[in-house]
Every structure is written in C-alpha cells, then in structure tokens.
Amino acid sequence: MTLRIVPLSEALGAEVTGPDWAQPLDSRTVAALEAAFLEFHLLCLRSETLTSLAFLGLARQLGTPQTQLIAEGRQADAPEVSRLETTYRSMADKPDDMRSVRLSGWHTDDSYFPVPAKATLLQSLAIPDSGGQTRFANMQTAYRDLPEEMKARIEGLRAVHRYDTRRAKAPPIELTREEEAETQEAVHPLARRHEDTGETAIYFNANRTDRIVGMSAAESDSLLDQLDRHTIQPKYQYHHTWRVGDILIWDNRCLIHSVNMDFPVGQRRIHQRILLAGAAPAHTKAP
C-alpha cells in the first residue's frame, strides 16, 4: 500500500492518502503515521465517512481513546466517539459577532483536566458550502520565536486552567451537575515540554487559561494577553477547509485551534470526535 504524505502549509500539517482507513493498518503504516504526526503536528487523512465503530477502530491503532466530558454526544455503540453538531438551525441562532461563539476562541482540547488528551481525531460527516474552517496555530514555532528574555520569564511559570474563565470572550455550554463535578481547576506549565520530541511549546488556552500562579490579576492578564497576541499571528496558522470524510488528527500538546463559525444558516455541520489519552504536562526544566 502506498502512503503519500504531503505538507499542507508552511506552519504545520500534512495530508495523508493511500490506505483505506476503515481497514486495519499494517505496522509500517502506523509507524509512518506516528513519525509524520510528530513532524507535522496535524495529519489530514482523506477518507470516506466511517461508522463510529470503524472510526474507533482507527483511533485504537494510534493511541488510547477516552470518553469525553459532555455525555450528550456519546454514541451508543462506541461511547468514546462523540458526535458534534454546530449547525445554525435558524437566523436567531447565528450571532452577528462571531467572537460571542465559544468555538471561535483559540483553545487546546481538555486542558481543564490534570491529564489532558494528547491528540484529537475529528472527522467531518457534513459540511456547509462555505466557511466553517478549523484553524490551527503552532505553539512550538511561536515559542521558538519568543525573545530570550520572554522565554526566561515564562520558564517554570504555572497557569490555572478552568472549564470557564472570566478571560474567555464567549461562555461555554452549560454542564450537567455530574459533568461539573468532573471539572476542577488544573495547573499546567506555561512552557510545556513535548513528551515525545522534547520540544517546548507555549501551553496557553484563550478559552480556559484563567491566571498565572503567584501573580497579581493585572500582571497575569498582561502576560497572558501578550502571549495570546503573539501566538495567533497568521504565520503560525493553517486553516483547514473540510471535505466530507476528512479525518484530522492533531497534537494538543503543541497546537491550539479555533473554528470559523461564519457559515450559512440551515446547512448542516457535523463531526465525530475521539480524544486520545495523554500524560500530565511537564515543564521544560524542573521548576
């Protein structure tokens, strides 16, 4: 089977074609995918739409799927697979200002947990005619470009991540009492070392990072605002225009993402998602 891996942008990402993703992969293909994942941080597997069981079968060859916080979208035959629908059903659902939609905010999945998911697999099942891209930014390159004094300043700092924060531009969906009980504050290093490559990334989540431990609110906000502006510069970004069936798998340890929520009312936008278990984030050096 020929595996073809082609970069998608200067910033990050590669397209992968060749295999039938519904079938078991041979060990050489899995090894090549793992190497490409570490090199490009995001892979786009071009595919037909998969059943939730086939999607889960693929994910199991790449890591350990875990059930997701929001119970509502979980599939009965495969609870690790969640179905996410972002369709605007009526004009009243779509705001004029996209910043008021939570998914428009830059984030990394799951960072309100002490052990966040290492990777996300997302497959499109239905897409609108225009808009709806998922945008990604490379936090390793953003870290590498920081002035040395800023690298020294954030070294060893820890930040508090919460399901919601006063800093977020839009509120999240409401949790059930059981879901809320599962989301306590988590504290993570601001400069995060990648477990597999040793590279450092800025680990910042505009929707979830609340404050830096040991700093006044004003000082913390000022530093987080500065990092926010730095990390979302266009040169660090790749915007994915979905085709039906595309499977993206991205590395939450070194990428942030957001959604262009500007797409036509009434056109369906549906994905299925799997999170792969990770490890507790580590500092670049011992704090």
Q: Which residues bind Fe ion (CB under 5 A)?
A: 109
| Residue 38 and residue 253 in contact, taking contact as beta carbons nearer than 8 Å | no
Shortest distance in whole angstroms from residue 255 CB to Fe ion? 10
> Residue 116 to residues 89, 132, 282: CA-CA distances in angstroms?
32, 25, 12
Of 143, 139, 108, the residue nearest 12 (C-alpha): 139
Shortest distance in whole angstroms from residue 207 CB to Fe ion? 9
CA 274 to chain centre: 11
Question: Which residue's CB is nearer to Fe ion, number 109 or number 199?
Answer: 109
Q: What is the C-alpha to C-alpha distance for residues 81 and 55, in angstroms, rounded to an integer?
A: 8
Question: Which residue's CB is nearer to Fe ion, number 75 or number 86?
Answer: 86
Cβ within 8 Å of residue 116, ≥6 positions away: 108, 109, 110, 186, 188, 252, 278, 281
Q: What is the C-alpha to C-alpha distance for residues 203 and 248, in angstroms, rounded to an integer?
A: 21
Question: Which residue's CB is nearer to Fe ion, number 69 or number 223?
Answer: 69
Shortest distance in whole angstroms from residue 257 CB to Fe ion? 6
Shortest distance in whole angstroms from residue 44 CB to Fe ion? 16
Question: Which residue's CB is nearer to Fe ion, number 116 or number 189?
Answer: 116
Question: Which residue's CB is nearer to Fe ion, number 194 or number 257?
Answer: 257
Shortest distance in whole angstroms from residue 113 CB to Fe ion? 13
Question: Which residue's CB is nearer to Fe ion, number 69 or number 146?
Answer: 69
| Residue 205 and residue 102 in contact, taking contact as beta carbons nearer than 8 Å | no
| Tokens (6 digits) for 36 | 């490409």
> Residue 276 to residues 1, 7, 120, 139, 151: CA-CA distances in angstroms?
26, 23, 6, 19, 29
Shortest distance in whole angstroms from residue 99 CB to Fe ion? 16
DSSP state of 241: P
Shortest distance in whole angstroms from residue 92 CB to Fe ion? 25
- The backbone region for 214, taken as left when phi is positive above 0, alpha when psi lies in -120 to 50, beta otherwise, is left
Question: Which residue's CB is nearer to Fe ion, number 128 or number 172?
Answer: 172
Residue nearest to Fe ion (CB): 109
CA 204 to chain centre: 12
